[in-house]
Amino acid sequence: MPLRDIFIALLVPCLWGFGFVIAKPAMQELSPILLNGLRWSLTGILMFWFFPFPKKLLKNIIIVSILGCTIQYSLTYSGLNLIDAASASFLVQSEVPFGIIVAYFMLGEKTPLKNIIGIIIAFIGVIILTGSPNLEGRIIGVFILLSGTLIWSFAQVLAKPISKEIGGLALTAWLGVIAGPLTIITSFFIEGNTYNQIVNASFNTWAIVVYLGIIMNIIAYSAWYHLLGKYPVNYIMPVLLLFPVTGLITAIFLLGEKPSTYSYIGGLIIILGVGMILINKKKS
Protein backbone atom coordinates (compact mmCIF):
# COMPACT_ATOMS: atom_id res chain seq x y z
CA MET A 1 0.00 0.00 0.00
CA PRO A 2 1.48 3.41 -0.98
CA LEU A 3 2.42 5.80 1.84
CA ARG A 4 -0.43 8.12 0.83
CA ASP A 5 -3.01 5.35 1.23
CA ILE A 6 -1.48 4.30 4.55
CA PHE A 7 -1.91 7.85 5.86
CA ILE A 8 -5.51 7.95 4.61
CA ALA A 9 -6.20 4.56 6.20
CA LEU A 10 -4.84 5.65 9.59
CA LEU A 11 -6.81 8.89 9.47
CA VAL A 12 -10.17 7.15 9.08
CA PRO A 13 -10.47 5.38 12.49
CA CYS A 14 -9.12 8.44 14.30
CA LEU A 15 -11.84 10.68 12.85
CA TRP A 16 -14.49 7.98 13.29
CA GLY A 17 -13.53 7.16 16.89
CA PHE A 18 -13.67 10.80 17.98
CA GLY A 19 -16.93 11.42 16.12
CA PHE A 20 -18.55 8.26 17.49
CA VAL A 21 -17.98 9.37 21.08
CA ILE A 22 -18.93 13.04 20.71
CA ALA A 23 -22.23 11.94 19.17
CA LYS A 24 -23.35 10.79 22.63
CA PRO A 25 -23.75 14.25 24.25
CA ALA A 26 -25.60 15.45 21.13
CA MET A 27 -28.24 12.83 21.86
CA GLN A 28 -29.24 14.75 24.97
CA GLU A 29 -31.00 17.17 22.62
CA LEU A 30 -31.44 15.20 19.38
CA SER A 31 -32.79 11.66 19.42
CA PRO A 32 -30.43 9.04 17.92
CA ILE A 33 -32.20 8.46 14.61
CA LEU A 34 -32.77 12.19 14.05
CA LEU A 35 -29.11 12.96 14.75
CA ASN A 36 -28.12 10.40 12.15
CA GLY A 37 -30.60 11.83 9.64
CA LEU A 38 -29.35 15.40 10.06
CA ARG A 39 -25.77 14.19 9.72
CA TRP A 40 -26.35 12.44 6.40
CA SER A 41 -28.61 15.22 5.09
CA LEU A 42 -25.82 17.74 5.62
CA THR A 43 -23.42 15.47 3.75
CA GLY A 44 -25.80 15.11 0.81
CA ILE A 45 -26.61 18.83 0.60
CA LEU A 46 -22.94 19.79 0.51
CA MET A 47 -21.74 17.12 -1.91
CA PHE A 48 -24.32 16.10 -4.50
CA TRP A 49 -23.72 19.19 -6.68
CA PHE A 50 -20.32 17.87 -7.72
CA PHE A 51 -21.23 14.41 -8.99
CA PRO A 52 -23.44 13.15 -11.85
CA PHE A 53 -26.62 11.30 -11.01
CA PRO A 54 -25.68 7.57 -10.75
CA LYS A 55 -28.67 6.26 -12.66
CA LYS A 56 -27.23 2.82 -13.40
CA LEU A 57 -26.20 2.24 -9.79
CA LEU A 58 -29.16 3.93 -8.12
CA LYS A 59 -30.82 0.71 -6.95
CA ASN A 60 -27.61 -0.54 -5.33
CA ILE A 61 -26.91 2.83 -3.71
CA ILE A 62 -30.42 2.91 -2.27
CA ILE A 63 -29.88 -0.53 -0.73
CA VAL A 64 -26.54 0.50 0.79
CA SER A 65 -27.98 3.78 2.08
CA ILE A 66 -30.89 2.01 3.76
CA LEU A 67 -28.72 -0.70 5.31
CA GLY A 68 -25.43 1.11 5.94
CA CYS A 69 -26.75 4.55 6.89
CA THR A 70 -30.42 4.60 7.93
CA ILE A 71 -30.79 1.23 9.65
CA GLN A 72 -27.21 0.69 10.79
CA TYR A 73 -26.54 4.10 12.30
CA SER A 74 -30.02 4.29 13.79
CA LEU A 75 -29.25 1.05 15.63
CA THR A 76 -25.68 2.00 16.49
CA TYR A 77 -26.59 5.45 17.80
CA SER A 78 -29.57 4.07 19.72
CA GLY A 79 -27.24 1.51 21.33
CA LEU A 80 -24.65 4.19 22.08
CA ASN A 81 -27.36 6.28 23.73
CA LEU A 82 -28.08 3.42 26.16
CA ILE A 83 -24.51 2.49 27.20
CA ASP A 84 -21.26 4.27 28.02
CA ALA A 85 -19.16 5.48 25.10
CA ALA A 86 -16.00 3.67 26.21
CA SER A 87 -17.68 0.24 26.18
CA ALA A 88 -19.41 1.09 22.91
CA SER A 89 -16.05 1.91 21.31
CA PHE A 90 -14.84 -1.61 22.12
CA LEU A 91 -18.09 -3.32 21.10
CA VAL A 92 -18.02 -1.61 17.71
CA GLN A 93 -14.89 -3.64 16.99
CA SER A 94 -17.18 -6.63 16.44
CA GLU A 95 -17.75 -5.17 12.98
CA VAL A 96 -14.35 -6.59 12.02
CA PRO A 97 -15.08 -10.29 12.70
CA PHE A 98 -18.58 -9.71 11.33
CA GLY A 99 -16.97 -8.22 8.22
CA ILE A 100 -14.67 -11.23 7.82
CA ILE A 101 -17.64 -13.60 8.06
CA VAL A 102 -19.75 -11.60 5.60
CA ALA A 103 -16.84 -11.23 3.15
CA TYR A 104 -16.31 -14.99 3.26
CA PHE A 105 -19.91 -15.81 2.33
CA MET A 106 -20.51 -12.96 -0.13
CA LEU A 107 -17.12 -12.37 -1.74
CA GLY A 108 -15.51 -15.75 -1.28
CA GLU A 109 -12.56 -14.25 0.63
CA LYS A 110 -10.76 -17.14 2.28
CA THR A 111 -10.98 -17.56 6.06
CA PRO A 112 -7.98 -19.52 7.39
CA LEU A 113 -7.94 -21.23 10.77
CA LYS A 114 -6.11 -18.24 12.29
CA ASN A 115 -9.03 -15.99 11.39
CA ILE A 116 -11.59 -18.40 12.82
CA ILE A 117 -9.68 -18.52 16.11
CA GLY A 118 -9.43 -14.73 16.10
CA ILE A 119 -13.19 -14.41 15.58
CA ILE A 120 -13.84 -16.73 18.53
CA ILE A 121 -11.43 -14.76 20.74
CA ALA A 122 -13.03 -11.46 19.73
CA PHE A 123 -16.50 -12.67 20.68
CA ILE A 124 -15.19 -14.02 23.99
CA GLY A 125 -14.06 -10.46 24.63
CA VAL A 126 -17.54 -9.20 23.79
CA ILE A 127 -19.03 -11.65 26.30
CA ILE A 128 -16.60 -10.52 29.02
CA LEU A 129 -17.26 -6.87 28.24
CA THR A 130 -21.02 -7.36 28.63
CA GLY A 131 -20.32 -8.43 32.23
CA SER A 132 -18.93 -4.99 33.02
CA PRO A 133 -20.71 -3.12 35.84
CA ASN A 134 -20.94 -0.21 33.38
CA LEU A 135 -23.27 -2.35 31.25
CA GLU A 136 -25.33 -3.88 34.06
CA GLY A 137 -28.98 -3.81 33.07
CA ARG A 138 -28.12 -2.43 29.63
CA ILE A 139 -27.96 -5.64 27.61
CA ILE A 140 -30.61 -4.28 25.24
CA GLY A 141 -28.28 -1.42 24.35
CA VAL A 142 -25.45 -3.89 23.72
CA PHE A 143 -27.69 -6.04 21.49
CA ILE A 144 -28.89 -3.01 19.51
CA LEU A 145 -25.32 -1.77 18.99
CA LEU A 146 -24.05 -5.21 17.91
CA SER A 147 -26.96 -5.51 15.49
CA GLY A 148 -25.81 -2.22 13.97
CA THR A 149 -22.23 -3.45 13.57
CA LEU A 150 -23.41 -6.60 11.80
CA ILE A 151 -25.49 -4.59 9.35
CA TRP A 152 -22.58 -2.16 8.82
CA SER A 153 -20.31 -5.06 7.85
CA PHE A 154 -22.90 -6.35 5.38
CA ALA A 155 -23.35 -2.87 3.88
CA GLN A 156 -19.60 -2.39 3.37
CA VAL A 157 -19.41 -5.56 1.28
CA LEU A 158 -22.29 -4.26 -0.85
CA ALA A 159 -20.64 -0.82 -1.12
CA LYS A 160 -17.31 -2.17 -2.35
CA PRO A 161 -18.20 -2.64 -6.08
CA ILE A 162 -20.07 0.70 -6.14
CA SER A 163 -17.11 2.57 -4.71
CA LYS A 164 -14.81 0.88 -7.20
CA GLU A 165 -16.95 2.15 -10.06
CA ILE A 166 -17.80 5.76 -9.05
CA GLY A 167 -15.29 6.54 -6.29
CA GLY A 168 -15.58 7.14 -2.56
CA LEU A 169 -16.58 10.82 -2.71
CA ALA A 170 -19.45 10.25 -5.14
CA LEU A 171 -20.73 7.27 -3.17
CA THR A 172 -20.69 9.25 0.08
CA ALA A 173 -22.52 12.13 -1.60
CA TRP A 174 -25.39 10.04 -2.94
CA LEU A 175 -25.67 8.01 0.23
CA GLY A 176 -26.25 11.32 2.01
CA VAL A 177 -28.88 12.43 -0.52
CA ILE A 178 -30.88 9.23 -0.03
CA ALA A 179 -30.21 8.31 3.60
CA GLY A 180 -30.57 11.79 5.11
CA PRO A 181 -34.24 12.52 4.30
CA LEU A 182 -35.19 8.85 4.70
CA THR A 183 -33.72 8.75 8.21
CA ILE A 184 -35.37 12.01 9.26
CA ILE A 185 -38.73 10.64 8.10
CA THR A 186 -38.01 7.44 10.04
CA SER A 187 -37.25 9.53 13.12
CA PHE A 188 -40.55 11.41 12.73
CA PHE A 189 -42.59 8.20 12.84
CA ILE A 190 -40.52 6.34 15.46
CA GLU A 191 -39.15 9.04 17.77
CA GLY A 192 -41.56 11.93 17.16
CA ASN A 193 -41.11 15.57 18.23
CA THR A 194 -38.74 16.06 15.30
CA TYR A 195 -39.41 19.76 14.60
CA ASN A 196 -39.07 20.87 18.24
CA GLN A 197 -35.80 19.00 18.66
CA ILE A 198 -34.33 20.67 15.57
CA VAL A 199 -35.33 24.25 16.43
CA ASN A 200 -34.35 23.92 20.11
CA ALA A 201 -30.93 22.27 19.61
CA SER A 202 -28.01 24.25 21.04
CA PHE A 203 -24.97 25.58 19.20
CA ASN A 204 -22.79 22.78 20.64
CA THR A 205 -25.19 20.13 19.36
CA TRP A 206 -25.23 21.66 15.87
CA ALA A 207 -21.42 21.82 15.97
CA ILE A 208 -21.41 18.05 16.56
CA VAL A 209 -23.82 17.56 13.64
CA VAL A 210 -21.43 19.56 11.46
CA TYR A 211 -18.48 17.41 12.58
CA LEU A 212 -20.40 14.21 11.87
CA GLY A 213 -21.64 15.41 8.49
CA ILE A 214 -18.42 16.96 7.22
CA ILE A 215 -15.45 15.41 9.02
CA MET A 216 -16.82 11.95 9.78
CA ASN A 217 -18.78 11.54 6.55
CA ILE A 218 -17.33 13.70 3.77
CA ILE A 219 -13.70 13.24 4.79
CA ALA A 220 -13.52 9.92 6.68
CA TYR A 221 -16.22 7.94 4.87
CA SER A 222 -15.08 9.16 1.45
CA ALA A 223 -11.55 8.06 2.36
CA TRP A 224 -12.85 4.70 3.57
CA TYR A 225 -14.84 4.04 0.42
CA HIS A 226 -11.82 5.11 -1.66
CA LEU A 227 -9.75 2.43 0.05
CA LEU A 228 -12.59 -0.09 -0.07
CA GLY A 229 -12.73 0.31 -3.83
CA LYS A 230 -8.99 -0.36 -4.20
CA TYR A 231 -8.24 -3.12 -1.69
CA PRO A 232 -9.84 -6.36 -0.41
CA VAL A 233 -12.07 -6.00 2.66
CA ASN A 234 -9.71 -8.07 4.82
CA TYR A 235 -6.73 -5.97 3.74
CA ILE A 236 -7.95 -2.58 4.97
CA MET A 237 -9.86 -3.73 8.07
CA PRO A 238 -6.72 -3.57 10.31
CA VAL A 239 -7.00 0.22 10.44
CA LEU A 240 -10.14 -0.18 12.54
CA LEU A 241 -7.93 -1.38 15.41
CA LEU A 242 -7.30 2.31 16.11
CA PHE A 243 -11.01 3.05 16.51
CA PRO A 244 -11.35 1.94 20.16
CA VAL A 245 -8.10 3.68 21.08
CA THR A 246 -9.37 7.02 19.78
CA GLY A 247 -12.84 6.39 21.17
CA LEU A 248 -11.58 5.40 24.62
CA ILE A 249 -9.29 8.42 24.95
CA THR A 250 -12.12 10.72 23.88
CA ALA A 251 -14.59 9.10 26.29
CA ILE A 252 -12.21 9.42 29.23
CA PHE A 253 -10.90 12.93 28.68
CA LEU A 254 -13.85 14.60 26.95
CA LEU A 255 -16.84 12.89 28.56
CA GLY A 256 -15.14 12.07 31.87
CA GLU A 257 -16.07 8.39 31.76
CA LYS A 258 -14.28 5.86 33.97
CA PRO A 259 -14.23 2.44 32.27
CA SER A 260 -14.32 -0.57 34.59
CA THR A 261 -11.71 -3.32 34.72
CA TYR A 262 -14.13 -5.52 32.76
CA SER A 263 -14.14 -2.90 30.03
CA TYR A 264 -10.37 -2.93 29.70
CA ILE A 265 -10.05 -6.73 29.87
CA GLY A 266 -12.91 -7.40 27.47
CA GLY A 267 -11.78 -4.60 25.17
CA LEU A 268 -8.20 -5.87 25.06
CA ILE A 269 -9.38 -9.41 24.28
CA ILE A 270 -11.55 -8.06 21.45
CA ILE A 271 -8.56 -6.18 20.03
CA LEU A 272 -6.39 -9.30 20.43
CA GLY A 273 -8.89 -11.37 18.47
CA VAL A 274 -9.28 -8.73 15.79
CA GLY A 275 -5.52 -8.30 15.57
CA MET A 276 -5.07 -12.04 15.17
CA ILE A 277 -7.47 -11.97 12.25
CA LEU A 278 -5.91 -9.06 10.47
CA ILE A 279 -2.26 -8.44 11.31
CA ASN A 280 0.12 -9.55 8.55
CA LYS A 281 -2.84 -10.08 6.23
CA LYS A 282 -1.52 -9.91 2.69
CA LYS A 283 -3.36 -8.31 -0.16
CA SER A 284 -5.07 -10.89 -2.34
- pLDDT tens digits along 233-281: 666 666 776 777 777 778 888 877 777 777 677 777 777 776 676 555 4
Question: What is the pLDDT at residue 213?
Answer: 93
Residue 74: what residue type?
S
Q: In this predicted model, what pLDDT tens digit does every residue of 103-117 receive, in sequence order?
A: 777 777 666 777 777
Round to whole Å and give the CA distance between 100 and 115. Answer: 8
Pair 211, 19: CB distance under 8 Å: yes
Residues 43-56: what's their mean pLDDT? 90
Q: Does residue 196 fall inside a structural domain?
A: yes
Question: What is the pLDDT at residue 224?
Answer: 84
* Lowest-confidence pick of 12-16, 31-35, 204-208, 276-280: 276-280
Coil, strand or helix at 258: coil
Pick from 270, 220, 284, 249: which is nearest to 9 by CA? 220
pLDDT score of 97 more than 80: no
Q: Does residue 284 fall inside a structural domain?
A: no
Residues 183, 92, 209, 167: what is their CA dihedral angle, to the nearest 10 degrees? -70
Range of the domain at 215: 3-278
Round to whole Å and give the CA distance between 179 and 67. Answer: 9
Round to whole Å and give the CA distance between 231 and 239. Answer: 13
Q: Does residue 283 fall inside a structural domain?
A: no
Q: What is the tally of structural domains in the chain?
A: 1
Question: What is the pLDDT at residue 201?
Answer: 92
Question: What is the pLDDT at residue 124?
Answer: 78
Q: Does residue 111 fall inside a structural domain?
A: yes
Q: Residues of the chain with pLDDT > 90: what percent? A: 25
Round to whole Å and give the CA distance between 267 and 277. Answer: 15
Confidence of residue 284 (pLDDT cuts 50, 70, 90): very low
Q: Does residue 39 fall inside a structural domain?
A: yes
Round to whole Å and give the CA distance between 62 and 59. Answer: 5
pTM: 0.80
Residues 80-87: what's their mean pLDDT? 83
pLDDT, greater one: 1 or 169? 169
Confidence of residue 197 (pLDDT cuts 50, 70, 90): very high
